[in-house]
Amino acid sequence: MFPQMRFYVRENIELNSHMISKGVENMSREKAQVFVGALSIFINAILFIAKFWVGLVTGSVALMADAWHTMSDSLTSVLTVVAAKLATKKPDTEHPFGHGRWELITSLVMAFVLGMIGYEFLTDSIERFQNREAIAFGTFAIAVTAASIIIKELLAQYSFYMGRKYDNPVITAEGWHSRSDSLSSIVVLAGIGATRLIEGLWWMDSVLGIFCALAIFYAAFQIFKEAITRILGETPDQKLIDELKGDVKKIHGDDFMLHHFHLHNYIVHKELTLHMRVDKNLTIEEGHGIATSVETIIREKFGMEATIHVEPLRY
């Protein structure tokens, strides 16, 4: 290739990469969720076809479990995209805090789907173990499984990053799906390697199937736990509380003994309630003014609406 052409191609690749990267960085919360979901659907569809074909050829329950685990990621990715649309609906009279908790409901559905898939493959693996069914793995099974491990872990890391960036539990759930798939594939790959090196391991496929099922259960538990924690209510992060007290003290010279913090997380909208103590000799208007200024700090710095209960401080 001519030097000028190499330079032109390199510059265009770098420019396109920069534009894609910049576009991802500037995504809205909804678009980020849709993007991760669509990316997951595309990758998982390709991996499912490869794993399913190998599972059919070998008759391996472990590889079939791994394939359907991957397919479950695609199905829940569709739910991710749907949840993104539902969660961004504007508040209405029946839902004054918006529809953000659709994301948590979707996470619970994901956990349920994973749990059912895990149960099916657990019972199938136990049945095969009881029947002493042996499986012969080929080189292609090793290649597909190894590729799946690398690709799904990369997808998991990207999903975790996007989930943290946008504080989005559904994107994080996507990451856990990819991570559990990667972990189950590692176990499968280790088992395949063992059967190639050691004779008489007729039980390996059944045991690998059980491990895959347990990996699916673990992913379902993590997703379920995070969603339930947010639904039941959360304690605000201590760092947020310390920063708020510090900001209030800088402005008013007093932290007003802020206490009794409660966070009401509606995902796309958050409400913080707290109590504060002021001089009992202040007028109602003066106390209200102080509370309003604290609410303004919370809104502008932390992106939350606040409701403050004012108490008299008795010296």
Does the structural domain 238-313 have CATH classification 3.10.450.50?
no
Q: How much is the pLDDT for 21?
A: 44
Span 22-37, average pLDDT = 67
List of residues 6+ apart from 104 with CB closer than 8 A: 169, 227, 230, 231, 267
One of 1.20.1510.10, 1.20.1260.10, 3.30.2130.30, 1.10.260.40 is the CATH number of 3-232, namely 1.20.1510.10
Q: Is-same-fold flag (3-232; 238-313)?
A: no
Min mean pLDDT across 61-70, 161-170, 205-214, 248-257 is at 61-70
For residues 213 and 79, which has the higher predicted lDDT (pLDDT)? 213
Residue 5: band (very low, low, confident or very high) from pLDDT cuts 50, 70, 90: very low
Span 177-190, average pLDDT = 78
Residue 19 pLDDT greater than 60, yes or no: no
Report the distance separating Cα 175 and Cα 214, nearest Å. 17
Its pTM stands at 0.58
Distance of CA 251 to the CA centre of its chain: 38
Residue pair 37/84 in contact (Cβ under 8 Å)? The answer is yes
Q: Mind listing the pLDDT tens digit for each residue in 108-133?
A: 887 888 788 788 878 888 887 887 77
Mean pLDDT of the chain: 77
Span 222-236, average pLDDT = 78
Min mean pLDDT across 4-13, 96-105, 272-281 is at 4-13
Q: How much is the pLDDT for 268?
A: 65
Of 55, 35, 53, residue with least CA distance to 43: 35
Residue 26: band (very low, low, confident or very high) from pLDDT cuts 50, 70, 90: low
Residue 275 pLDDT greater than 90, yes or no: yes
Residue 163 pLDDT greater than 90, yes or no: no
Residue 298 pLDDT greater than 80, yes or no: yes
Residue keyed to tokens 């736990």: 225
Give the bridge partners for 234, in sequence order.
263
- Edge-to-edge strand list for the sheet holding 259-265: 259-265, 270-279, 305-313
Span 17-26, average pLDDT = 46
Q: How much is the pLDDT for 267?
A: 64
Domain spans of the chain?
Answer: 3-232, 238-313
Give the bridge partners for 273, in sequence order.
262, 307
Q: How far is CA 78 from CA 84, 90, 110, 220, in A?
A: 10, 22, 10, 17
